Every structure is written in structure tokens, then in C-alpha cells.
Amino acid sequence: MTNQMFCFQCEQTAGCKGCTGAAGVCGKKADTAGLQDQLTGALIGLARAVEGNEGMVTEAIDRVVLESLFSAVTNVNFNNETLKALIQRVDEEKAGLIRRVNEKNTIQRCNESNSPCGRSDNYDMNKLWAENEDIRSLKSLILFGIRGVAAYAYHAAVLGYTDKEINQFFHKALRMIGEETCEINELITMALKVGEINLKCMALLDQANTETYGNPAPTTVSLKVEKGPFIVITGHDLLDLKLLLEQTEGKGINIYTHGEMLPAHAYPELKTYSHLKGNFGTAWQNQQKEFANIPAPILYTTNCLMPPKASYADRVFTTEVVSYPEIVHIGEEKDFTPVIQKALELGGYETDMQFTGINGGTEVMTGFGHNAVLSVADTVIDAVKAGAIKHFFLVAGCDGARPGRNYYTEFVKQTPKDTVILTLACGKYRFNDLDLGTIGGLPRLMDMGQCNDAYSAIKVAVALADAFGCEVNELPLSMILSWYEQKAVCILLTLLHLGIKNIKLGPTLPAFLSENVVSYLADNFNIGLIATPEEDIREILG
């Protein structure tokens, strides 16, 4: 295995250029990065075999594609063994597909467009990293984008919601990444298509979540941890939470959400469980501090997993595609007994513990999804018409460790009182415990949910534009986004696909965007880097 790596897919990449050498900033080792590249190369081989044979793609192929793409998202899978097993599964699925195609074609001779006869070789990702800067940039945008989309498609799939167009699109995009000759324009079109497909995928996940658990309703969530045994559950997978709630019912164990699991409190089907008590901790980058010596187990259902410190590694559990060497993994049978036993053994705190958010607040609110916000659309529209609401800010996206991220806290604090802040994803922990007051009976700060609930923000924006008879870009709405990992990449592409302009992005621009690609985005979409809260608010509000 190599001790040299190249990875520049996330915001904390070394020197804002790329992680090289023996390990990345996230703790991913060179051999793991190499296996993720090999897995991506195998997926490209499979995608080549699929070309022209789409009708013969099985559920097992769809499943392994989602798992593999999701496994390469930042802070998901650090485990060489599971990555090797995935590579093997991808290669086996490809071989099986080729065999089936060849059996079908025994009489009919293969022609050149019939992939299994010619082009089903796996791709060497080092070719991509050595490409011309602009081609590498756009192909990376596509690759990182589909990794994000796959994560959302995976969550929808575990609830039984799948979509053929989405699944087939992954193959098209993967094939383009492996193509030797590609025009810049084709790559730009494909990148925007990733955004279009992601919109479809977020809508599918929204349908899956709301049909399974009901429509989120505004809910206040306590940051207090009650005495006695408890389990902290983090990540985005609501089904894992539901199964954990079922298995812990009546056992004297309380459940606390963490990170992106917070919006779960707003779903009617999940809030019926009285032992779903509150939220523990803040965003992912604080986990090594917050979990040190915690008297409870932590279950990771998706990103963001940081390498567990020795102080709490014995109480960390993973499930689904999250994996870390030597950490207990709960498999597909979803028997959470080891987590439950650990909770009982550790016993929790001896007295109730009142924790606070970053700004000292003792509770937070969530549950302002599209259904909740649009049910008060008339009030909102009247407030805008009467001048009570002057502007909407969508301050949303991932949190991260970079010091400049307090921009988002300061931005929210400095917004005038006649403005509304919509938020979503884990970046909100910078300000979600602030009491910003109300406008016309509505809270000024509304948490729409997880990152995939960007779908709600889009629905609300489109509904407001309809009500005012204008384009979304003409609304008194500004998007101030923060990014960290690849789900933020696909959401950004969705906003670009919708033609949304003037987005302010931070804390830095993605290292994988070449100068020319940045210029293209600035010229066509007026995307800019955040400046200071004062300057940006002044510029936006005039």
C-alpha cells in the first residue's frame, strides 16, 4: 500500500490545496484514500459495463453503487476492510452483468457499443488527479457532487424509496469522469445535471421522510441530559433512530440526538417516543471534546465521524456505511443490543445535567420544514407586504473547524430585527441557541432541518416567488452558505441548476475549483466568497 495520497474533496483540505503524504487532515490514511480511489475506479468500470445494458441492472448493482459512493464521503468510512469488500462486490456485480449480457448475446455478436465486449475496464484515478486543471476541476465537481447525491439516495432507499432515473444517472456521470476526451462545456452541463438530479433526490428523500414519519412541526428541543442511562445518536439516518427508539422502549434508557439528527425531534412519528428526550452537543467538529468521558455510548449512523479518541473509543458504535477500524459495527440485522448494554453499563450522569449551546442557550427549535412554513405562508406574505419582514437570509450548510466560521454566528447576530433567518444542516449550531425574537408571531430564526432539507428552503422560495409573481432571484432573499463535505457540493449544484444567483459561500472556496471554473461561476452566477458580516449585510441590504 502506498503512503502517498491525494484528496481535496472537503473544505478542511491541507493548505486549502489538497491532502497529500501519509494522511489527510480528517485522519484518513493514504492507504484508505487509495482504496477509495480504487473503489471509484471500479465503479467507473461497472458504469462502463452498464452502458447499453441499463435494462439488465439489478437492485444489487444499484445498492452497491450507492454504498460505494456514500462510503467515500468525508468522515464516513475509515476502514480498509470494508472498502476492500466493497471493491470486490463492485467487481463481482460487473462480472455478473457482463456474464448475463454475454449469455443473452450468444447468437447476436457483440458490437462496439456493447460495453462488456470492449470498455468495462476499471479506471485509474491517478489519471484524473494528473488531468489538465480545468478538466480535473469539473470532473471532481461531478464526482464529489454524486457522492453527496448518493448519500441522500441511500437514505431514501432504506425507507423503500428509489428512482430509476437517479440510479441510472450515477453511471452516466461516472462514465464521463473516466472519459479520456471531454469538452469543458459537456462537463459543465453534466455538473449542472448533478444539481438537477440532486433536486429530484432531495424531493424523493423528503417524500420518504414525510410519508414515513409525518410532516415536521415546530418543536422546542431541550439541551438538558437527564440522570440515568442514555444513548447519543448522530448522523442523518432517521430509520436507525426509529429502530433504536423501538429497541430501547421501556428499558429506562433515554435517547439524545446529536449533530444532524436534531431535526428528528420534529417528526410526529418519532416524537411519540417519550424517551427521545433532547439534544446533546453541537456540530461534528466538537465531538472529540464533547464525547470525552461521556457516560454513554454514541451511535454513528452517517457522517461526520472523526477518529475516536481513546477517552471514548470504547463507547463508539457505527452502523450502515460508517466504519472505523476496531470500532463495533452494528450490521444489517440492526440488533442494537451492544449499544443498549453499554448504556446500562455506563449508567449515564448521576444528576440532571444542563448543557448549553455555543451561545449559552438551554434549548433550540427545529421543525420548520416546507409544510410548517407554507402553512403560515399568508402571514409571511402579509408581513412582507406590510414591510414588517424586510429580508430573508438563508444561513445554512455544514459546520467545520476553521476559525473563520464564527462569521456565521456574527452574521446572524448582526441581521436587523425586521429580517428572518432560515437555516438548515449542522452549521446552525453556531447560532441556533440564540433568542432572536419574533416577527408577527413567527420566530425570526427557523430551522428547516438537515442538509437535505435544503429541499424545503427551495420549496418555500419558489412558493414565495409565485406569490409575489417574480423570480426567486428577485425575492428579498439572500443565501449565505457554508460548506464542508460533498453533500454541500450537490446542494450548491442544485441551486446553480435552478439559476440562483448571488450566493455567498464560505469559509473558503473549494480547492478543487480551478481559477477558470471560479471565474465561470462568478460570471454566470455571481457566486462570491463571504467577506465580513458587516460588509456582506451592508452590501445585501444596501
Could you report how far apart the first and last alpha carbons of the chain are, in Å? 56
> Side chain identity at 403, as an amino acid letter?
P
User: Whole-angstrom Cα distance, residue 25 to residue 13?
Assistant: 6
Out of 2, 16, 19, 251, the residue judged to bind ligand SF4 by CB under 6 A: 19
Q: Which is nearer to ligand SF4, 8 or 393 (CB)?
A: 8
Q: Are 405 and 480 a contacting pair, CB within 8 Å?
A: no
Q: Which residue has the cell 418519532?
A: 270
Out of 16, 20, 25, 344, the residue judged to bind ligand SF4 by CB under 6 A: 25
Q: How far is CA 412 from CA 131, 201, 419, 427, 446, in A?
A: 41, 30, 10, 12, 12
Cell of 45: 468500470
Q: Which residue has the cell 432517521?
A: 238
CB of 32 to ligand SF4, least distance (A): 9
CB of 512 to ligand SF4, least distance (A): 9
CB of 8 to ligand SF4, least distance (A): 5
Task: Pick what 398 binds: ligand SF3, ligand SF4, none; C-beta below 5 to 8 Å, kind-dependent.
Answer: ligand SF3
Sign of the alpha-carbon dihedral angle for 119, 66, 336, 322:
positive
DSSP conformation class of 29: B
Categorise residue 425: left if φ over 0, alpha if ψ from -120 to 50, beta otherwise: left
Nearest to 364 by CA among 216, 218, 220, 217: 220
Task: Pick what 254 binds: ligand SF3, ligand SF4, none; C-beta below 5 to 8 Å, kind-dependent.
Answer: none
Angle between helices 486-497 and 184-213 (to 10 degrees): 100
DSSP conformation class of 251: T
CB of 381 to ligand SF4, least distance (A): 42
Out of 1, 3, 4, 13, the residue judged to bind ligand SF4 by CB under 6 A: 13
Residues 55-114 that bind ligand SF4 (CB under 6 A): 74
CB of 105 to ligand SF3, least distance (A): 44
Q: Which is nearer to ligand SF4, 308 or 449 (CB)?
A: 308
Q: Which is nearer to ligand SF3, 208 or 304 (CB)?
A: 304
Q: Which is nearer to ligand SF3, 237 or 485 (CB)?
A: 485
Task: Pick what 420 binds: ligand SF4, ligand SF3, none; C-beta below 5 to 8 Å, kind-dependent.
Answer: none
- Give the binding site for ligand SF3 (CB under 6 A): 236, 259-260, 284, 303-304, 398-399, 425-426, 450-451, 484-485, 487-488
Angle between helices 486-497 and 454-468 (to 10 degrees): 20
CB of 147 to ligand SF3, least distance (A): 12
Residue 509 engages ligand SF4 in binding (rule: CB under 6 A): no
CB of 235 to ligand SF3, least distance (A): 7
The stretch near ligand SF4 (CB under 6 A) out of 5-13, 198-206, 223-231, 473-481 is 5-13
Side-chain-side CA neighbours of residue 531 (13 Å):
9
Residue 7 engages ligand SF4 in binding (rule: CB under 6 A): yes
Burial pattern 22-39, b for ≥16 Cβ within 10 A else e, equals ebbebebbbbbbbbbbbb
User: Whole-angstrom Cα distance, residue 428 to residue 391?
Assistant: 19
What's the chain's Rg over C-alpha atoms?
Answer: 23
Q: Which is nearer to ligand SF4, 285 or 452 (CB)?
A: 285
CB of 193 to ligand SF4, least distance (A): 24
Task: Pick what 285 binds: ligand SF4, ligand SF3, none; C-beta below 5 to 8 Å, kind-dependent.
Answer: none
Q: Which is nearer to ligand SF3, 206 or 399 (CB)?
A: 399
Nearest to 215 by CA among 343, 375, 53: 375
Q: Which is nearer to ligand SF4, 8 or 169 (CB)?
A: 8
CB of 483 to ligand SF3, least distance (A): 8
Task: Pick what 138 binds: ligand SF3, ligand SF4, none; C-beta below 5 to 8 Å, kind-dependent.
Answer: none
Looking at the DSSP bridge assignments, the partners of residue 365 are 220
Residues 6+ apart with CB under 8 A from 349: 225, 226, 227, 228, 295
3-state class of 17 per DSSP?
A: coil
CB of 309 to ligand SF3, least distance (A): 18
Task: Pick what 494 binds: ligand SF3, ligand SF4, none; C-beta below 5 to 8 Å, kind-dependent.
Answer: none
Task: Pick what 7 binds: ligand SF4, ligand SF3, none; C-beta below 5 to 8 Å, kind-dependent.
Answer: ligand SF4
User: Whole-angstrom Cα distance, residue 157 to residue 150?
Assistant: 10
Q: How far is CA 465 from CA 227, 392, 539, in A?
A: 48, 12, 22
CB of 509 to ligand SF4, least distance (A): 14
Task: Pick what 264 binds: ligand SF4, ligand SF3, none; C-beta below 5 to 8 Å, kind-dependent.
Answer: none
Cell of 530: 463571504
Classify strands 19-21 and 5-7 as parallel, antiparallel or unpaired: antiparallel
User: Whole-angstrom Cα distance, residue 317 to residue 329?
Assistant: 6
Q: Which is nearer to ligand SF4, 24 or 229 (CB)?
A: 24
DSSP conformation class of 228: B
Site string for ligand SF4, 488-507 (x = CB under 6 A): --------------------
Task: Pick what 10 binds: ligand SF4, ligand SF3, none; C-beta below 5 to 8 Å, kind-dependent.
Answer: ligand SF4
Residue 285 engages ligand SF4 in binding (rule: CB under 6 A): no
Out of 9, 198, 279, 432, the residue judged to bind ligand SF4 by CB under 6 A: 9
Task: Pick what 320 binds: ligand SF4, ligand SF3, none; C-beta below 5 to 8 Å, kind-dependent.
Answer: none
> Side chain identity at 133, as an amino acid letter?
E
Q: Which is nearer to ligand SF4, 20 or 162 (CB)?
A: 20
User: Whole-angstrom Cα distance, residue 173 to residue 153?
Assistant: 15
Task: Pick what 303 binds: ligand SF4, ligand SF3, none; C-beta below 5 to 8 Å, kind-dependent.
Answer: ligand SF3
Binding site for ligand SF4 (CB under 6 A): 7-10, 12-13, 19, 24-26, 28, 74
